[in-house]
Structure 1
Amino acid sequence: MGNGARAQQKRERNATAGKTTAKSQTKSNEKAMSIICQVCRQTFLQTTKAPALLEHAENKHKKGLADCFPGVAAA
């Protein structure tokens, strides 16, 4: 067996070993979008803090946190 045959075997072995699929977080991130602005219906991740939500409410709607996000307590 020459070096060419070894190289071909190695290429075949590596081609079958590297058949893993990429894991995407897109579906889990969509499920985690549980905070919804009551004015524009934009969704936010459930881990979004009150200051970021307040910024959205003031910049987009000129309203307060309670007007756009009634279930979120100000921190």
Structure 2
Amino acid sequence: MGNGAKAAQKRERNASKQADKGPTSRLKVNEAAKNIVCQICRQTFLLTTRAPALEEHATNKHSKSLAECFPGYTGK
């Protein structure tokens, strides 16, 4: 048995391990976590976005304050 056969067997084993784990993509989870919404342009932000990033969006995109773009944001 040459090295080519060993490599093919290892690829097969790794492929079956990955199939057992299920999907590894976090796209759906991240999309569901976007619950901060700018009331002017309707852009969504992740729940973990902090106030400085939201303030930057409000001033750069709309020349408005954080409270005008995100009226329900509490800053947790």
TM-score greater than 0.5 by the shorter chain: yes
Tell me what 1:26 maps to: 27
Ranges of 4+ aligned residues in structure 1 off by more than 6 Å: none
- Length, aligned pairs only: 71
More helix, by proportion: 2
Q: 2:7 aligns with which of 11, 18, 26?
A: 11
Give % identity: 48
Q: What stretches of structure 1 of length at least 5 have no aligned partner?
A: none
Tell me what 1:50 maps to: 51
Q: What stretches of structure 2 of length at least 5 have no aligned partner?
A: none
Q: Residue type of the partner of 2:14?
A: G
Q: Residue type of the partner of 1:10?
A: K
| TM-score normalised by structure 2 residue count | 0.77
Q: For each residue in 1:46-70, what CA deviation from the matched residue of structure 2 results, as whole angstroms up to 9, or x when unmatched? A: 0001111011111111111111101
Tell me what 1:64 maps to: 65
| 1:50 and 1:73 in contact (8 A); partners too | no
